[in-house]
Amino acid sequence: MNNQQFDDFDFFQIGNEIENNKIPGMERELYIYPIKSIFKNIDANKELITYSPYTENLRIIDLDDVKKIKAELIENPQYSYNSKQSLSNMDGELAIVSKYDKFYTTTEDFEYNPNKLYLVSEFEIKTDIDIETFGQIIQTFTSKTFGEDNLNLSRELTIGTTLLSEWKPRDANNLIIKIGKELNKTMLSKIKIKTPKSFLISSLKAVNSEKGISSYISLEPQDVLFPLWINPINISNSKKIDVINYWMSDRIFALEEAKRISDSNHSSFEISKLLEFSDEEAVSKETISANNVEYIKIDFPEIFYDVKKGKQTGSWKGSSVTYGKDKYENRDNWPIVNDRDNRDELGSRERPNLYSLPYQLLYANTFYRFEWFEKNLSIQYVLDNSIKPSSLTELLKDVLNASYNYSMNFKGAGYTNEQTKELNKMALYKQEFEGKTISEYIDGLEKSWEQAHPNKIDSTQYSNYKKIRTMLSPYIFGTNSIGNNKQDDARFLLPYWFELTSKPVYDIDGNISDQTESGRGLWKYKNINVKLKSLYFNLENKTPNKMKNSKQLILTGNNDTFIWQNPKEVIEESKLPGLKNSDFKTSDINVTKYLLYTRTNIINYLGSGKSLIFNKEDFDSMLEENILTFESKIAFQSLNFLELSGLFLPGNYSLEFIDANGNTTLKINDLIFSRGEKEDVSAIKIIF
């Protein structure tokens, strides 16, 4: 409560007198416990109760500090009103309760301090459960003096109470009261926090005030904590929270596999093996498309014709004609065209491209309906049913080459002869990019591969390709790159990435040349050697780097500086444009940048192919119960509050305070932070 004085000790202006209608047989013994701070008061402000949706007020009662009085329960008038109380809060005056639960009257003495809170029970409190079951808070305390003269005066007290579970402002949390002893001049060094399995911590701040000066206590974790980047979504639309858990998805290699590639003597060879198709796999399923038909063979019978208009008769003998795509490179539709009225023998709404048919067939088609030819012609599609075993390796080199030559601004592009204006090789290569962004060009290369090999899209090799692409994001543009290759996004947002150690060479007709400005060649990668790097893990020991607490984690890359944010009291859901790699950017305000930690060793879950979207049940199934110990290098005597940031989910929390000698001085169990069923990523302030 605050320090405002009330002459009649009445916190609430009822506006009505309570008739002293004592109920026969309703005598009660009341146990009254002063509600105390955990730490012995240093200043009066520690008695304030601060309410907000993201604040938990934690207080204790001392079972040895109790006042027992006899009282009688009087008739409850059930007044209905919104009473107000002046509190330290975020929103001004707050409506606390709408009614009293009980009124008692007594003539016994009780020294009441209006600036303190009191817990009342009709039964002696012995356990924390008793507090929850029987606890009431004194709301009003009035005193009346009776007697005909000054010598025989008596005083009657009226006490109004509200159940502890009902005593709270709207949209705030209940006051948490536990059994304990005040810590007075105890030198503390450690705080141990127990949390549910699905809890992930972001940071822990501790603040104390002494002699009117507030200061942070530096608390460092004593446990090995494993980091995890999550991006909360669907907060406001549901009480249940979903998060994007990128680090455990199938978009990167598992750490063990990534290390195997990196630690090999020739990582380029290991990458090629992951992308290579065997001879058996190189046979494609027969799917007709403009990309995989090698040629068309057409057999037609002898055709008799009678052109009455021209009075011509005659016949064409049957023959066989083969037409390959190499002769029709400019025919975009080769070898098939869509036709709503005709079906070929394969049953699709497609027929041979007429532009690819022999001249005599085209001529005959002007006199005969095409259906006749469809019934009498034998059309055979001969497929290019093979894929080069190294086609994905070549694709990877192509996108690396394109990104590098673009970054070099196609240096040397120009004419081989100023008079004839004949373009050199670099200039011809640059022409391929005209009218496209670099990302569109890279995406086009990868899309063309998918169209040429539709039955390989779900192959293990192509899955490996996409993982390598993700982990090489700093070197390649396109939608398959984190942040679309902007700045250091991949280094900051991935748990680990591939550093490209190979250097491109200047290739002129297959030969390495030092004439890098001639424009006669292109920059090309002959090998793709990599080294695994991480800002968050010690890759030699497969352990995380040290968690940073009480301050934001600041990372510096090659071209940028990035700050991992601490969750705030109110977190809005992310509104990502999509879930493509290029959508995850450090510069995008819709990408939530929280690095959370757990004691569970999650190394084997990284890159394990789990769902990209996670919820509480997913975390429960894989994480262990957290018991987190934080130590201060300098012992301290008191705390005003702890600010605990992280992924808050319903469950059981506890606090344990340990002195400089390693002894537990106070342990508070079964802290159910009053979120109800709401799950959240935020900061919660625990006030003592």
Instruction: Indicate whether 111 and 215 sit together in one domain.
Output: no
**Contact status, residue 542 vs residue 496, Cβ threshold 8 Å:** no
* DSSP notation for 6-71: -TT-BSS---SPPP--EEEEEEEEEEEEE-B-SBPPSSGGGG--EE-TTEEEEEEE-TTS-EEEEE
**Where does 308-442 show beta strands of DSSP type E?**
312-316, 319-324, 336-338, 350-352, 378-383, 415-417, 422-423
Predicted confidence at residue 325, as pLDDT, reads: 56
Q: Rounded mean pLDDT of 166-189? A: 84
With CA atoms as reference, report the closest residue to 104 among 134, 127, 73, 82. Answer: 73
pLDDT band at 17 (very low <50, low <70, confident <90, very high): very low
- Banded model confidence at residue 129, pLDDT cuts 50, 70, 90: very high
**Peptide linkage before 335 cis (omega within 30 of 0):** yes
Mean pLDDT of the chain: 77
164 with 183, same domain: the answer is no
Regarding whether 199 and 165 lie in a shared domain, the answer is no
Given CA atoms 391, 397, 399, 401 in this order, what sign does their dihedral have?
A: negative
The domain tally of the chain equals: 4
> N- to C-terminal Cα distance for the chain?
13
The CA distance from 125 to 142, in Å, is 25
* Full-model pTM: 0.74
The answer to the question of residue 540 being in a domain is: no
**Ramachandran sector of residue 171 (left: φ over 0; alpha: ψ -120 to 50; beta: rest):** left
Q: Which tens digits make up the pLDDT trace of 131-159?
A: 999 999 988 888 887 766 666 667 788 88
Tokens 């970054």, residue located: 407
Per-residue pLDDT tens digits for 182-197: 888 888 899 999 988 8
Is 378 in the same domain as 498?
Answer: no
pLDDT at 417 over 60: yes
Q: How far is CA 173 from CA 87, 164, 375, 542, 684, in A?
A: 14, 11, 80, 41, 11
Pair 422, 496 in one domain: yes
- 295 pLDDT tier (thresholds 50, 70, 90): low
Question: What's the domain range around 458?
Answer: 255-279+392-533
Is residue 608 situated within a structural domain? yes
Written as six digits, the tokens of 490 are 């991949």
| 474 belongs to a structural domain | yes
Same domain for 131 and 39: yes
Q: Are both 167 and 204 inside the same structural domain?
A: no
Q: How confident is the model at residue 595 (pLDDT cuts 50, 70, 90)?
A: confident
In a shared domain, residues 36 and 158: yes
How many angstroms separate the CA atoms of 609 and 193, rounded? 31
Q: Which of 533, 555, 580 is the last residue of a domain?
A: 533
Domain boundary among 516, 533, 550: 533
Q: What is the pLDDT of residue 291?
A: 55
Residue 408, in any domain of the structure: yes
By DSSP bridging, strand 680-687 and strand 55-61 are: parallel
Q: How many CB atoms lie within 10 A of CB 306?
A: 11
Res 339: pLDDT? 40
**155 located within any domain:** yes
Name the residue with tokens 């290569």.
429
